[in-house]
Amino acid sequence: MALSAYEEFAKEPLVFPIGGKNYTLKPVDIPTGHKLLGLINGKDKDFAKAPSEELWKLLLGELWDEFEKDGVPQEAAVRAGLTALADWQYDRETAEAAWEAGADPKALQAYMQAKAATQNRAARRSTSTGAAKKTR
Q: Above 70 in pLDDT, residue 119?
A: yes
Please check whether residue 25 lies inside any domain of the structure: yes
**pLDDT computed for residue 68 by the predictor:** 96
Between 126 and 27, name the one with better pLDDT.
27
Q: pTM of the entire structure?
A: 0.75
Residue 119 vs residues 24, 36, 105, 122, 131: alpha-carbon distances, Å: 30, 27, 21, 5, 21
Domain limits for position 104: 10-128
Q: Above 70 in pLDDT, residue 127?
A: no
Number of domains in the chain: 1
Q: From CA 104, how far away is CA 111, in angstroms rounded?
A: 11
Q: Which of 25, 13, 12, 14 is nearest to 63 (CA)?
A: 25
Please check whether residue 135 lies inside any domain of the structure: no
For the chain, the average pLDDT equals: 85
Please check whether residue 133 lies inside any domain of the structure: no
Between 43 and 15, name the one with better pLDDT.
15
